Structure 1
Amino acid sequence: MLSALRHWSQSRFSWLLLALTAIGLEGAALYFQYGMELMPCVMCVYQRIAVLGILVAALIGFSSPKLTLMRMAGSFLWLYASYRRY
């Protein structure tokens, strides 16, 4: 099981999937705000910032997933942004 997780974290596809999910969430939030004219609450803004942190982490991991330092930096930033919500 751990070897499967290690292999998954070393593939560009998993980091790309994470980045595309974050882009989709940001796109939906922007559509709700500007397309449907729904103003976001404070918690919504915090969630957007957290998703942007996850997007940055995904791009770091996507840049070179075979390098342990970049993969660990992306994973740490992803967990930190998810935990702190910014």
Structure 2
Amino acid sequence: MPIQYHDQVSLLKDILSEHQSECCGTVAECEQLERVSKSLMANSNTDQNVKGVLENIYYYGQSGKNSSSLDNHIESHNNQLSQWIQDIDSYS
């Protein structure tokens, strides 16, 4: 059973917030970011303004899971993580 739009947004923000605050994460979390952001981009209820943010999150997850040092990858995107969370909050 697929999770609802609001739950997907919450999950996305939770993972991004954890990455930002802990500066570490897992490959599974990056894969989850990819799946959820892709699903939200395909959802007709998603605000057009947030789709660009979701695309950035998708690529962040994709490059993170393929990174040789996931912690460094997360750390190097710390400013973007907080911006993405703010953007998602403002459009959802």
Q: Specify if TM > 0.5.
A: yes
**RCO higher in structure (CA 8 A, sep ≥6):** 2
Partner of 1:35: none
Partner of 2:33: 18
Unaligned runs of 5+ in 1: 33-39
Aligned residues: 67
Partner of 2:12: none
Partner of 2:69: 66
The CA distance in 2 between the partners of 1:27 and 1:13, in whole Å, is: 21
Higher-Rg structure is: 1
TM-score by length of 1: 0.56
- The percent identity for this pair of structures is 9
The CA distance in 2 between the partners of 1:60 and 1:76, in whole Å, is: 17
**C-alpha RMSD of matched pairs (Å):** 2.9
Q: Secondary structure of the residue that 1:26 maps to in structure 2?
A: helix
Q: Deviations for 1:16-70, whole angstroms, at most 9, x for unmatched residues?
A: 01111001111223xx6xxxxxxx8xxx221111211211221232222634321
Read off the aligned partner of 2:82 and give its amino acid letter: L
TM-score by length of 2: 0.53
Read off the aligned partner of 2:67 and give its amino acid letter: S
